[in-house]
Amino acid sequence: MGPSDITAVADTEAPVEPEQTPARRRPLTVILVCVLAVAALVIAGTTGWLIGSSSSAPATVTESSVDAGFARDMSTHHTQAIEMANYARDYSSDPSIKILARDIETQQYFQLGEMQGWLDVWNLSRSSSEPVMGWMNGHEQLTSDGLMPGMATPAEVNKLETLTGKALDIYFLQLMLRHHQGGLPMAQYAAAHATQPYVRLLASKMVEAQSREIIQMEQLLRERGASPLPAPPTTH
């Protein structure tokens, strides 16, 4: 057997490296989430300092006010949206979905930090025994699942995080569209009834951005031959 024959046998018998299937929760994603969480806290602290050092620093934002209720409940709403957007950004292969998810995640992380900064400056806890969404109509407004309107159930979030491809894209759009539809009335109410001008301003920006994204997600669903989920119940 000549040298060329030995080389041929060696090439034939060389082990084939198996394809690596990426884990559903990559370490890089975990690191990024941590970095963004720290960034949100920095934003919260900076916002609190700016409000506290300004001449218009609020003196009487109460526990049961529209301002405090909106900051708390919209923070909870945003937290879930960030989780779903983070997953879609990492695992969708559709550029349109990845861009949308990244935009929602980045925007709502910033807003989350800002709202938590307000609560800190107001010397109010980020959690409360006040009725959820009671700041809108004076009474708790939860769905039969015990969630604020538009929020996905744990089972729905778990299902989203098992999907890939077109199925992932459609389900993400459906869940996020309904999520926006549920959060929009909260932002509209705060924009009209909050006592602090900076709270009304942020709420107004949320209304503009989420109204635009609702139209965008409806169009993306139509392009993929899918329909929205039933809209959440009206809250006011």
Instruction: Count the residues in the chain.
Output: 236
Residue 30, pLDDT above cutoff 60: no
pTM for this entry: 0.79
* Band (207; pLDDT cuts 50, 70, 90): very high
Residue 135, pLDDT above cutoff 50: yes
pLDDT tens for 84-132 read 999 999 999 999 999 999 999 999 999 999 999 999 999 999 999 999 9
Percentage of the chain surpassing pLDDT 90? 69
Nearest partner of 75 among 183, 156, 166, judged by Cα: 183
What pLDDT does 59 receive? 55
Q: For residues 88 and 105, give the distance between their C-alpha atoms in angstroms, rounded to a whole number.
A: 10
Give the Å distances, CA to CA, from 150 to 69, 141, 213, 230. Answer: 17, 12, 15, 10
Residue 27, pLDDT above cutoff 70: no
* Band (18; pLDDT cuts 50, 70, 90): very low
What pLDDT does 163 receive? 98
> Residue ranges of the domains in the chain?
29-50+61-132+148-223
pLDDT tens for 154-196 read 999 999 999 999 999 999 999 999 999 999 999 999 999 999 9
Residue pair 84/179 in contact by the 8 Å Cβ criterion: yes
**Pick the residue with more confidence: 22 or 95?**
95
Residue 202, pLDDT above cutoff 70: yes
Residue 54, pLDDT above cutoff 80: no
**Pick the residue with more confidence: 56 or 177?**
177
What pLDDT does 145 receive? 87
Nearest partner of 166 among 83, 82, 96, 85, judged by Cα: 96
* Band (21; pLDDT cuts 50, 70, 90): very low
Task: Decide which of 1.20.1260.10, 1.10.10.1200, 1.10.286.10, 1.20.140.10 is the CATH code for 29-50+61-132+148-223.
Answer: 1.20.1260.10
